[in-house]
Structures are given as structure tokens and as C-alpha cells.
Amino acid sequence: MIPLPRRLLAEFTGTALLVTVVVGSGIMAQTLSPNDVGLQLLENALATVLGLGVLIVVLGPVSGAHFNPVVSAAEWWRARRTGTGLTARELGAYLVAQTGGAIGGAVLANAMFDKPAVSWATTERSASHLWLGEVVATAGLILVIFALVRAGRTTVAPVGVAGYIGAAYWFTSSTSFANPAVTIGRAFSDSFAGIAPASVPGFVVAQLAGGVIGLLLVAGLFGRASVGEEHEAVMPHPVSRP
């Protein structure tokens, strides 16, 4: 059984490094390709895909590699009947670790590129079509993760999850934030990957709605989960129990 503090450290570290990858590659993309937004998006997406895949491989066996409050909440919701997944207390701790990690990751990326540690983003992302993009991105992410869990194919989660996020960068209008913690973290950097603080609540609400839709799709496709399937998101991981 892996103690909760170690799992929280994995979630904090993983989310921090994920946001560092997203924000840092966005800053680098702006530097390398200042006049080509499409190329900036490609560079940002490629770095995110590679970074996310590696982080899932490395930290998944410790905490499940959620790095995302919606994923953690979905696991808790699915496992609440059996007690084999996150408890409500653990869920709260995961959310704090993920959000703190996301903010720390943005600050780290800013510092690496000699920018102010906190530079509030000015990119407004408040429009109904962007919120719809976030609903689609998050619903798809939850569907991918828990479909792999239900099919017993979590070993391919690093490729499946990272591949979906990379694709969603391009087929969603919002460029697929799909993660409340990452959304909050990206508000701390006025860069290619940034989102203005005033735009954060709309994105978070859309992501939560997408998470609910994703769970409904999983239930519709696979039916009610049996005991033993409930705790394995994104990667199988032992959980501690009193």
C-alpha cells in the first residue's frame, strides 16, 4: 500500500511538471516562431504529448497519474460504493496537491525563461464555443481513461491519454485545457499558453460538465463497474486504507 503523502507528492510533482511543460513550451514556441501561430501550437502540443506520456509512465504506479481534479473526482465518484478508490478526504487532498502543483509549475516555467514569477495572463478565453470545446475535450478525456480501465488496458494509458490530448489540441476550439488545475496554473503566466483569470471560472465549469458527460458515456458503453475496476485511473496503483 502506498501511503497518502507519497501519492500527494506524486500528484503535486506530476501536475507541476505538466504545467511547466505546457507553459514553458508555449514561451519557447513564441520565441522560436514569433510570426507563426500554427507552428507555435504544433510545438506546444508536441511537447505536451511527450511530457504527459512520460509523466504517466513514471508517476502512474505511485498515485495513478491523475494530475487532474476531474479525473480524481471521477474516480472517487465511481468507487464511492465499494471504498476501493479515493475517499472523500483523499480526494480533497489530491485536489489541493494538483492545484498547488499547477501554480508552482507555471511559476517555475516563468522563472526559467527570465519572466516575472507571476505574470497574470491577459488572453481572454470567454465565449460559448470555447466552453463547448472544453466540454468535448474533458468528456473525451474521461471516456478514454475509464474505457481503458474497464477494458483492462491501462498499460496503454500513457499513449492513449497523451495521444488524445495531443489530438484535442487541434480539433477543439479551446485547444483542450481539459483540466481545472492546469487551467488555474496557466492563469499565472502571460504567455502563449495563458488564460486570463476572469476566463478561468467558465472553463472550469465546462470541464466539470464534460467530466459528468464522460462518466455517463462510460456507463452507457460498459455498464456498471464491478468491484476491482473502481480504483484504476489512470494507471493501476495501490491505495492505503486504515
Q: What is the pLDDT of residue 79?
A: 82
Is residue 239 in a domain? Answer: no
Report the CATH number that the domain containing residue 217 is assigned in CATH. Answer: 1.20.1080.10
* Residue 108 identity: L
pLDDT, position 229: 52
Confidence at residue 228, expressed as pLDDT on a 0 to 100 scale: 54
Residue ranges in the chain assigned as alpha helix (H): 4-32, 37-63, 69-79, 88-112, 128-150, 157-171, 180-186, 200-222
Residue 46 Cα to chain centre, angstroms: 16
Q: Are 121 and 182 in contact (CB under 8 A)?
A: no
Q: Is residue 235 part of a domain?
A: no
Per the domain annotation, does 218 fall within a domain? yes
Take residue 196 and report the three cell numbers written for it. 486570463
The C-alpha cell at 87 is: 475517499
Domain count, the chain: 1
Residue 179 lies in a domain: yes
In a domain, 37, yes or no: yes
In this structure, is residue 241 part of a structural domain? Answer: no
Specify if 107 maps to a domain.
yes
139 located within any domain? yes
Q: Which residues of the chain have pLDDT under 50?
A: 241-242
Alpha-carbon distance 188 to 231, whole Å? Answer: 32
What local confidence, expressed as pLDDT, does residue 242 receive? 43
Give the pLDDT confidence of 56-83 residue by residue, as tens digits.
999 999 999 999 999 999 999 988 866 6
pLDDT recorded at residue 237: 63
Name the residue range of residue 83's domain: 4-222
Q: Look at residue 137 in the predicted model and tell me its pLDDT.
A: 98
User: Measuring CA to CA, which residue among 79, 23, 18, 27 is closest to residue 237?
Assistant: 79
